[in-house]
Structure 1
Amino acid sequence: MDRLLCFLTTLLVVGAQSCPEVCRCMALKKYGRHIADCSYKDLEAVPLGLPSNATTLTLSVNRIPSLGEDAFADVPNLQALWLSYNEIGGISRGTFSSLMHLRAIDLRHNQIVDFPWGDLSNLTALQQLKLSSNRLEKVPWNAFQTLKDLRSLWLDNNHLVVLFEGTFDPMPWLSQLQIHHNPLNCSCRSWWLKKWLENTSVSVSEKESITCGAPEHLKGLVLGRNLKMDCMLPSVQLVYHSSLGNSVLHDGLTLFLHCSAVGKPTPEIRWTIQTSAQTVAINGPNAEEGGDNALAGVTSPQKKGGRFLVFKNGSMVITNFNKADEGLYTCQALNDVGSREVSVNVALASSESPDDRLQNDIQASKPKANSCDKEHPRPEGKVVFIYLNPRAPKASSNRGTVWDPWLWASSFLVALLSFL
């Protein structure tokens, strides 16, 4: 009698919610789950009239070609959504964004090229995301920023060429990853991934199938420990010189800062200037070069960067240097492997000096970030205070700082800079 009563109660609960004819709906009260199973029905669209209390929806092995924004409007409480083995090629933006209780999505074996990655920002409870065997060509660098609880991520058997550095960092609980059988470009842009695979504690399936699709001479080789990649983190050096050829910088003189960098690929140089009144970022040259005497007649301000003139060879020139130009000048060298930066603090001879140990101290960037902090400033006469403020060098491994064991020194040079 008890069993019959339980069965009748279950029927009443299920009957209270609508269920499309082609689907089978059931309630597992013991587990608090309500299942709508619409698999193996040759469906070409998500059926209407799904029970609003459904927590699991199975639509696998159908012929659904696309998903519209309101495809799952009837089932806002879904926790699991199974859509594998369909013909899904298009998914509208917003299709999944309202399903904030989702813990698992299975979209394997479809034809997806453009996935609505922005929808994932609302799915903070997601623990499993399966996108294997589609036609995905890219994953945005911030695709998984909000997926703190994600445990399992399947991206294998797609058309992915590059994965951006730090792609997997926002997922501290990630324990299973599949990225094999993608035509990865094993240029220096993938150097971080090679290092990450060598050091990660995440279980990465079929590592021997994570191979290079390009360049040609690496095609088919495993992106692993034995793969030789001609890549080098940039090293960077700063040299100071005033227009009078001495180490004392007076008001009205021209300041020359030359930033030289080496690395593979060739690094790009960027400048940041922090003064008491402003912060200026210059991401490339803003002045034309014209030989050794190119700066002789430069006096007019430039639109990009104001009075801070940056040349293609990495040099910066500040004409008619004055009190307002005092501050921290940072040169950053970056390439596909990572970046390093080095800074110099410039003040006029009449300004207060930093601590004694910092005067005229020029060094390369080092692993300690605060060794050049200003402490106990005191007046000092006719000394230009130029010193490099060491910054942590960024390396492309696991989106974190990697300390380069090679610490090179730079020397203080008072010489005319060449602008060839």
Structure 2
Amino acid sequence: MDLTFSLWMTLLLVGAQSCPEVCRCVAMKKSGRHSADCSYKDLQAVPLGLPANATALTLSVNRITGLREDSFVDTEALQALWLSYNEISAIAKGTFAFLVQLRAIDLSHNQMTDFPWGDLSNLTSLQQLKLSHNRLEKVPPGGFHMLKDLRSLWLNDNHLAVLSEGTFNSLPLLSQLQISNNPFDCSCKIWWLKRWLENTLVSVPEKESITCAAPEHLKGLVLGKTLTLDCMLPSVQLSYSSSLGNSVLHDGLTLLLHCSAVGKPLPEIQWKIQTLAQNVVINGPNVEGAWDNLLVDATSRRRKGRFLVFENGSMAISEFSKADEGIYTCQAFNEVGSCEASVDVALAGSEKPPVDRLQNNIQASKPQTHPCNKEEFSEKVVFIYLTAVAPKTSSNGGISGEPWPCRSLLLVLLLALCS
């Protein structure tokens, strides 16, 4: 008997010995792959005894209702897993996590309301993911961030109302995307998706079926170029001043940074402070009332902390010292996106800077037609001479001066702006 033929028969018999009775297991001689076909068997669970060397497993068109963490524990060599047209409503976390060789998985036409998204972080070889015709209500931010080889993604015919901005940004090889027939909420949260669909090179079939389910006045309209959404990315203005010489304050320099933002919906403001000693994030105001009223009460200032943020977007840093040097960032964000402006504050020597660099203009980000990213910031050095002349904003945006009888200080600011 031919030696090659004998070897092939041996492999086939070994495969058959570990094959569940309800399945058909085949060893493919040329490719060296092994498949197990268990479709159309009225199965209610994944059968036991699947061949460990199986590279393809078909369980489609059965009555499987759930997948356990150990459902595929003996089939780590799988490259393709077909589970469409079942009744799967629950999948345990970790079910797919160890199937690191998977290239394709089809879970379409089931009853899933959720998915073990964390498992995808291990499936870095995945090229096709079909989750269509289910009841999925959300995709978590960054859910696909590890799928660098993914070519085809099917999310159509689910219950998705919103997709987080950047959902598809981490998929450099994506060539086909199905997202039609979802009940999208066409609020400003979906504005990014409208723009992405208009500009992407990814094939998106059935665009006419990517429609709005809400709000009521947009119901049924296609999420395309002709749809107008009253949304605008935030635009930030950052201005600054000092209370040095203020008759109310006798205990040191107080720096006031004011952040104002426009956009639709009205943006919220967050302050981030980064010094050598600490990193602080302040979400919204931490004090009430007007800034100038609170500064009268030094005890109240100390009780509220070093950094006071007011309802109008202002931040006050009283008794500013070398320890407070660092980067102060105002970030404005709404449902459309975010934008920020930063100022690097430092106390320096008393040498008077050149007159043409004495400026105290409001520094602003320009209105955005695309997300405002840190990489797009422009940088500008602004010198503020605080003592030999008292800065005042003139009608032309320049500075006029009055002598101050006190120690010279130079406040140096490196301003990072949205552009």
Normalising by structure 1, what TM-score? Answer: 0.84
Task: Give the distance between the partners of 1:60 and 1:200, measured in 2 at CA.
Answer: 33
State the one-letter code of the partner of 2:332.
A
Q: State the shift of 1:214 in Å.
A: 1.1
Task: Give the aligned partner of residue 44 of structure 2.
Answer: 44
Task: Give the aligned partner of residue 319 of structure 1.
Answer: 318
Using CA pairs under 8 Å that are at least 6 residues apart, name the structure with larger relative contact order, 1 or 2. 1
Check the 8 A contact 2:269/2:332 in 1, yes or no.
yes
Query: Number of aligned pairs?
Result: 384
Verify: 1:34 aligned to 2:60, yes or no: no
Verify: 1:89 aligned to 2:115, yes or no: no
Task: Give the aligned partner of residue 385 of structure 1.
Answer: 411
Quick one: structure 1 residues 302 and 217, their matched pair in 2 at CA, closer, same or farther if it must change by over 3 Å?
Answer: farther
- Report SS of the residue matched to 1:288: coil
After TM superposition, the structure 1 stretch with the greater mean CA deviation from structure 2, 267-276 or 225-234, is 267-276
Q: State the shift of 1:299 in Å.
A: 3.8
Q: State the shift of 1:312 in Å.
A: 1.6
Q: State the shift of 1:215 in Å.
A: 1.1
1:397-412 superposed matches below 5 A: none
Check the 8 A contact 1:111/1:135 in 2, yes or no.
yes
Residues 278-313 of structure 1: CA distance to partner in whole angstroms, max 9, x if unpaired? 332212211122586233214445677x31000121
- Report SS of the residue matched to 1:280: strand
Task: Give the aligned partner of residue 16 of structure 1.
Answer: 14
Task: Give the distance between the partners of 1:46 and 1:275, measured in 2 at CA.
Answer: 56
Q: Which consecutive residues of structure 1, in runs of 5 or more, have no partner in the other structure?
A: 394-402, 404-420
- Report SS of the residue matched to 2:380: coil
Check the 8 A contact 1:270/1:331 in 2, yes or no.
yes
Quick one: structure 1 residues 163 and 336, their matched pair in 2 at CA, closer, same or farther if it must change by over 3 Å?
Answer: same
Q: State the shift of 1:383 in Å.
A: 5.5
Task: Give the aligned partner of residue 279 of structure 1.
Answer: 279
Residues 37-96 of structure 1: CA distance to partner in whole angstroms, max 9, x if unpaired? 000000111111111100000000000000000001121100000000000000000100
Task: Give the aligned partner of residue 115 of structure 2.
Answer: 115
Check the 8 A contact 1:251/1:321 in 2, yes or no.
no
Verify: 1:259 aligned to 2:259, yes or no: yes
Task: Give the distance between the partners of 2:354 and 2:99, measured in 1 at CA.
Answer: 58
Quick one: structure 1 residues 235 and 103, their matched pair in 2 at CA, closer, same or farther if it must change by over 3 Å?
Answer: same
Q: State the shift of 1:360 in Å.
A: 3.2
Check the 8 A contact 2:266/2:334 in 1, yes or no.
yes
Residues 186-207 of structure 1: CA distance to partner in whole angstroms, max 9, x if unpaired? 1111111111110011001111
Quick one: structure 1 residues 319 and 54, their matched pair in 2 at CA, closer, same or farther if it must change by over 3 Å?
Answer: same
Task: Give the distance between the partners of 1:357 and 1:141, measured in 2 at CA.
Answer: 47
After TM superposition, the structure 1 stretch with the greater mean CA deviation from structure 2, 358-367 or 201-210, is 358-367
Task: Give the aligned partner of residue 329 of structure 2.
Answer: 330
Pick one of 371, 379, 387 that aligns with 1:371.
379
Q: Percent of aligned pairs with the same residue?
A: 66
Q: State the shift of 1:252 in Å.
A: 0.2
Residues 368-409 of structure 1: CA distance to partner in whole angstroms, max 9, x if unpaired? 63533699xxxx983643546133x4xxxxxxxxx6xxxxxx
Quick one: structure 1 residues 370 and 229, their matched pair in 2 at CA, closer, same or farther if it must change by over 3 Å?
Answer: closer
Check the 8 A contact 1:358/1:387 in 2, yes or no.
no
Quick one: structure 1 residues 291 and 254, their matched pair in 2 at CA, closer, same or farther if it must change by over 3 Å?
Answer: closer
Task: Give the aligned partner of residue 416 of structure 1.
Answer: none
- Report SS of the residue matched to 1:164: coil
Quick one: structure 1 residues 352 and 310, their matched pair in 2 at CA, closer, same or farther if it must change by over 3 Å?
Answer: farther
Task: Give the distance between the partners of 1:323 and 1:205, measured in 2 at CA.
Answer: 59
- Report SS of the residue matched to 1:389: strand
- Report SS of the residue matched to 1:142: coil
State the one-letter code of the partner of 1:164.
S
Task: Give the distance between the partners of 1:235 and 1:104, measured in 2 at CA.
Answer: 43
Task: Give the distance between the partners of 2:319 and 2:378, measured in 1 at CA.
Answer: 31
After TM superposition, the structure 1 stretch with the greater mean CA deviation from structure 2, 285-294 or 225-234, is 285-294
Task: Give the distance between the partners of 2:233 and 2:24, measured in 1 at CA.
Answer: 58
Task: Give the distance between the partners of 1:373 and 1:300, measured in 2 at CA.
Answer: 34
Q: Which consecutive residues of structure 2, in runs of 5 or more, have no partner in the other structure?
A: 367-374, 389-406
Check the 8 A contact 1:345/1:385 in 2, yes or no.
no
- Report SS of the residue matched to 2:159: coil
Q: State the shift of 1:231 in Å.
A: 0.5
After TM superposition, the structure 1 stretch with the greater mean CA deviation from structure 2, 197-206 or 346-355, is 346-355
CA RMSD across the alignment: 2.8
1:2-401 superposed matches below 5 A: 9-17=7-15, 18-243=18-243, 252-289=252-289, 293-300=293-300, 306-348=305-347, 350=349, 359-360=358-359, 362=361, 363-365=363-365, 369-372=377-380, 382=408, 384-385=410-411, 387=413, 389-391=415-417, 393=418
